[in-house]
Amino acid sequence: MARSRLGRADLAEGGFRAVDVGQRLVLVSRVGGAFWAISDWCNHAGCRLSQGSFEATSVTCHCHGATFDRRTGKNLNAPHLCGDQDAYEVREESGELFVEWKD
């Protein structure tokens, strides 16, 4: 588990932020009142998803157009190009956000 350096108040509904968490660059989003985290690096093109375009529940890579669910990391439109993004659990404690993963 690693602290994301974000608090609940740092992300409005629909908002997102790229943060360094341990050795990973993670895209943290607030969708439907909940907090979600996926890898910020597109696993196909190596581009930062945080620089892509955002819809209500998705983000589109600006390098090659693959669209991923911001909540689950699932590839929504181009499975022939790349797989799903790694997704991480986000836990909130006393208004502070923590991102968790298993190595």
pLDDT for the residue numbered 10: 92
Region label for 14, one of left (φ > 0), alpha (ψ between -120 and 50) or beta (otherwise) = left
pTM of the entire predicted model: 0.91
* R_g over Cα of the chain: 13
Report pLDDT digits (tens) over 45-84. 789 999 999 999 999 999 988 999 999 999 999 777 788 9
Report pLDDT digits (tens) over 5-33. 789 999 999 999 999 888 889 999 999 99
pLDDT at 3 over 80: no
Average pLDDT of the chain, as a whole number: 90
Report pLDDT digits (tens) over 29-42. 999 999 999 999 99
pLDDT at 101 over 80: no
Domain 2-100 sits in CATH at 2.102.10.10
Burial (CB count <10 Å: 0-12, 13-18, 19+), residue 85: buried
pLDDT for the residue numbered 103: 60
